[in-house]
Structure formats: structure tokens, C-alpha cells
């Protein structure tokens, strides 16, 4: 079973989310939706966050370990892995 999160943007191949049409982020079993990444957030192993780049693109990342606080997803590969998603227009 998948958890499906509605986003105000479109997720494109490779995990980018571009602001255009509403799309869905599908989170596999065993992972937990934690919302938008926050530097003060404390994330557990398997938490999924949405990280916004300076360019305005969004990427979904999965925490690799517990007690994950202050580690920036694209810069801290020991703490985060990218949740790559295909592009879709609706829940299938």
C-alpha cells in the first residue's frame, strides 16, 4: 500500500518538483511523510521530506538514520537519499 500526498506542483523524473499543475507524491510502505524539510526538525530513519532548492525546484528525500537534525538533504548524502519518482498526472 502506498501513501499518496497531494502537492501543489508537478513531480518530474529524477525527483524534481516544479511549480505547475497539482501532482501526487507516492510514498512506499515503511516510509513516513514528514512534510517540508526544516533545519530544526528532528527526523527518524524512513522519514520523507520535501526540500526546496534556491532555484525553486523541490526534491523528496528519505532520512537514512534517526536523530537527523540540521543536515541539509542535498549536501548530506550520509544522512539522506533521494526519493526518485516518475512523473504522473493523477493517482493510478
Is 90 domain-assigned?
no
Q: Does residue 4 have a pLDDT over 90? A: no
Lowest mean pLDDT segment, chosen from 4-8, 58-62, 72-76: 4-8
Note whether residue 91 is domain-resident.
no
31, 47 Cβ separation under 8 angstroms: yes
pTM of the model: 0.72
- Residue 84, classed as helix, strand or coil, is coil
Name the residue range of residue 49's domain. Answer: 3-82
Find where cell 520535501 sits. Answer: 50
> What are the residues whose beta carbons fall under 8 Å from the beta carbon of 37, sequence distance 6 or more?
49, 50, 51, 52, 61, 73
The answer to the question of residue 89 being in a domain is no
Residue 91 is predicted with a pLDDT of 41
Number of domains in the chain: 1
Extract the C-alpha cell encoding 19: 511549480
Q: What are 6-32's pLDDT values in tens digits?
A: 565 544 444 444 444 346 677 888 899
**How much is the average pLDDT of 48-68?**
87
**What number is the average pLDDT over the span 44-51?**
93
Average per-residue pLDDT for the chain? 75
Residue 68 lies inside a defined structural domain of this protein: yes
Note whether residue 34 is domain-resident: yes
- Determine the longest span between alpha carbons in the chain, in angstroms: 35
* The pLDDT of residue 35: 87
Amino acid at each position: 500500500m502506498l501513501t499518496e500526498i497531494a502537492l501543489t506542483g508537478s513531480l518530474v523524473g529524477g525527483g524534481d518538483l516544479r511549480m505547475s499543475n497539482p501532482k501526487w507524491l507516492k510514498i512506499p510502505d515503511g516510509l513516513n511523510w514528514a512534510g517540508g524539510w526544516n533545519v530544526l526538525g528532528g527526523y527518524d530513519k524512513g522519514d520523507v521530506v520535501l526540500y526546496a532548492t534556491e532555484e525553486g525546484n523541490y526534491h523528496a528525500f528519505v532520512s537514512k538514520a534517526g536523530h537527523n537534525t540540521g543536515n541539509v538533504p542535498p549536501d548530506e548524502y550520509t544522512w539522506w537519499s533521494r526519493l526518485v519518482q516518475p512523473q504522473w498526472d493523477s493517482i493510478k
